[in-house]
């Protein structure tokens, strides 16, 4: 089955700790993984940030929300136990526990109420019902902003001159640790134009291997014939590595061809080009920065 959202985890979690014993987060995640019959792949699936397992993150947030509602209590670092209120909730034989249900408890309402104003007075703000954890909401919002930036960046690239596009490719490859010095890379790109090759660049700062480049500022998809021409040019140079960069896309036939040949050709379409530029700070600048922090439990461990 698909990985359940964190609200769907709440009732099974409360039932699991209903034995009145204390349970660690690790054993809770393992038990609920079995309860939801998750596959090995689903258990290992990571959040978009790649920093934490999705299911484990959702179990953690389900546990946090029920602690804030007074259904669970911390017994020691990393462990929780059901409270009398939690046992009362279990006796109701509910079909589900969600955010709407938890709002009956004043402690949970206070937890959800943001503090605003210079005097620190709490003000009530309606909460949009969601199946995402707070971290997942941040991730989703970030991805929406990033996708908008990707689209805007690609449109800007297409409006630039071919010469500027060549310089952009140079800057990106250098930021990705290719090309040796800026001068070496600048002399290589856009100089060759020989047999389907736009330029060459060092794979590493020492120049132990050479990568051949083809860069196309196109609107139409790049098809198999163009890739075949590039692959043939690589063979003519006795080369086995190449990067084909375009502002458009690659046809399925082009991608299938690359997967079958001996030469290693990396295809970078417009979307991936924009993503790489964002990741390596090419043509973009930081508007706002946020840090997501959590308690460092190791700091509070007493010797």
pLDDT at 23: 96
Instruction: Quickly count: other Cβ atoms within 10 Å of residue 148's Cβ.
Output: 10
SS3 label, residue 242: strand
Instruction: Quickly count: other Cβ atoms within 10 Å of residue 180's Cβ.
Output: 17
Asked if residue 99 lies in contact with residue 7, where contact means CB atoms within 8 angstroms, the answer is yes
Q: Give the domain ranges of the chain.
A: 6-114, 152-279
Q: Is 207 left (phi over 0), alpha (psi -120 to 50) or beta?
A: left
Asked if residue 84 lies in contact with residue 27, where contact means CB atoms within 8 angstroms, the answer is no
The Cα–Cα gap between 300 and 295 comes to: 9
Burial class (CB in 10 A: 0-12, 13-18, 19+), 245: buried
The Cα–Cα gap between 207 and 59 comes to: 49
pLDDT at 128: 46
The Cα–Cα gap between 63 and 53 comes to: 15
Q: Can 6-114 and 152-279 be said to share one CATH topology?
A: no
Q: How far is CA 214 from CA 72, 77, 102, 229, in A?
A: 60, 56, 58, 10
The pLDDT tens digits of the residues spanning 15-33 come to 999 999 999 999 999 999 9
Q: Are strands 210-216 and 79-82 parallel, antiparallel or unpaired?
A: unpaired
Q: How far is CA 186 from CA 192, 208, 285, in A?
A: 12, 18, 23
Which comes out higher in pLDDT, residue 37 or 211?
37
pLDDT at 83: 97
The pLDDT tens digits of the residues spanning 62-108 come to 999 999 999 999 898 789 999 999 999 999 999 999 999 999 999 99
Asked if residue 125 lies in contact with residue 113, where contact means CB atoms within 8 angstroms, the answer is yes
- Non-local CB neighbours of 144 within 8 Å, separated by 6+ positions: none
Over 90: is that where the pLDDT of 197 sits?
no
Asked if residue 203 lies in contact with residue 210, where contact means CB atoms within 8 angstroms, the answer is yes
pLDDT at 185: 58
Range 6-114: architecture per CATH = Orthogonal Bundle (1.10)
Of the pLDDT bands very low, low, confident and very high (cuts 50, 70, 90), residue 303 is low
Tokens describing residue 145: 């902003």
CATH topology of domain 152-279: Trna Endonuclease; Chain: A, domain 1 (3.40.1350)
């Amino acid at each position: 089955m698909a990985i359940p959202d964190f609200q769907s985890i709440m009732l099974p979690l409360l039932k699991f700790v209903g034995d009145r014993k204390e349970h660690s987060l690790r054993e809770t995640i393992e038990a609920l993984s079995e309860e939801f019959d998750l596959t090995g792949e689903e258990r290992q699936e990571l959040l978009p940030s790649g920093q934490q397992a999705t299911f484990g993150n959702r179990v953690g947030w389900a546990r946090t929300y029920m602690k804030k509602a007074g259904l669970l209590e911390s017994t020691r670092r990393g462990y929780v136990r059901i409270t009398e209120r939690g046992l009362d909730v279990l006796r109701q034989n509910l079909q589900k526990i969600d955010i709407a249900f938890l709002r009956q408890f004043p402690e949970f309402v206070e937890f959800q109420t943001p503090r605003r104003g210079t005097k620190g007075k709490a003000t009530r703000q309606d909460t949009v019902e969601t199946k995402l954890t707070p971290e997942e909401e941040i991730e989703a919002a970030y991805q929406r902003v990033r996708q908008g930036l990707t689209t805007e960046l690609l449109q800007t690239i297409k409006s630039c001159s071919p010469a500027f596009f060549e310089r952009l490719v140079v800057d990106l490859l250098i930021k990705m640790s290719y090309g040796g010095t800026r001068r070496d890379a600048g002399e290589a790109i856009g100089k060759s134009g020989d047999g389907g090759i736009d330029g060459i660049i060092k794979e590493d700062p020492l120049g132990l291997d050479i990568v051949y480049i083809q860069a196309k500022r196109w609107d139409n998809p790049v098809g198999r014939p163009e890739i075949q021409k590039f692959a043939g040019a690589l063979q003519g140079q006795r080369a086995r590595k190449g990067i084909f960069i375009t502002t458009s896309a690659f046809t399925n036939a082009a991608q299938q061809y690359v997967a079958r040949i001996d030469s290693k050709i990396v295809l970078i379409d417009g979307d991936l080009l924009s993503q790489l530029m964002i990741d390596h700070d090419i043509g973009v600048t930081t508007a706002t920065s946020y840090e997501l922090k959590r308690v460092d439990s190791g700091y509070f461990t007493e010797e």
